[in-house]
Amino acid sequence: DGLEPVRLDTLGLRTATILDLGGQPLGASLPTSVDGSIRERVVTAQALTVEADDTASMLEASTTRSAQWRRVIGLLATSALTDAEVVDVAAEMRAEFAAIRGAIEIPEAFAFTLTGRRSTVPIKITNNGDVPLSVLVRLSSPKLLFPDGPQLVTVEPGQFAEVMVRIEARSNGDSPVTLEVYTPNGGSLLGRPVPLRDSACTRAISSSAASAVNSHRPPTCAAVRTLPTGASAGQRRSAH
């Protein structure tokens, strides 16, 4: 059933020698089998181990929660707990994992402006929990590059952090972007992917076209549209 040998002390158990009246150790006979199967317990323990490690990656390294979770998970496949108790323990642990992951608040859909080939967009991440939490912030787009890749950020309890994401446009035109926030080990997505809304200002503008269109004034949302490099003078005038 995929069981591995463990030391009793890792389960928080201790042994003692019981002596008879003559000072000799008493013997005991253990059953060669037990009623039922522990297969389901093993599957539950394996799943909880993955979830515990995933959630623990959000916590500070000094926390003792991960070790506590592992000790409890180690008891699930033993006779120390009844089947009903295993179900209850698993539910309680998953509720604790969900509470930690759910303390992270990610922004709703929003629009941002690219005023040139390179820009920076702030992403606000809030920690509504009572301990510091770390997350991995990732943006993706078919038309944009993110030189720094996914960024790891730690947010203090009851605070928010702004992750400054550098963006580079690799083509002209509207650029749909998706924001995703993961646990640091990448095992779980925290919340749903957030589509960042495109607005009239959200354009990847080539520097040459922007210079030609806005030679006498700074770019504005209404005045600038995306133009390919080398656009004709007529095309540039029509962009006004």
If one compares 104 and 144, the residue with the highest pLDDT of the two is 104
pLDDT at position 215, please? 40
What is the per-residue DSSP string for 30-83?
A: PPS--SS-SHHHHHHHHHHHHHHHHHHTTS-TT-SHHHHHHHHHHHTTSTTS-H
Cα(first)–Cα(last) distance of the chain, in Å? 72
Q: Tell me the pTM.
A: 0.66
Cβ-Cβ contacts under 8 Å for 13 (sequence gap 6 or more)? none
Q: What mean pLDDT value characterizes the chain?
A: 76
pLDDT tens digits, one per residue of 109-145? 877 777 778 888 899 999 999 999 999 999 998 888 8
**pLDDT tens digits along 142-160:** 888 899 999 999 999 999 9
- pLDDT at position 28 is 56
Please compute the mean of the pLDDT values over residues 158-177 and round it to a whole number. Answer: 85
Q: Which pLDDT score is estimated for 207?
A: 39
Q: Is the pLDDT of residue 25 over 70?
A: yes
Q: What is the pLDDT of residue 231?
A: 45
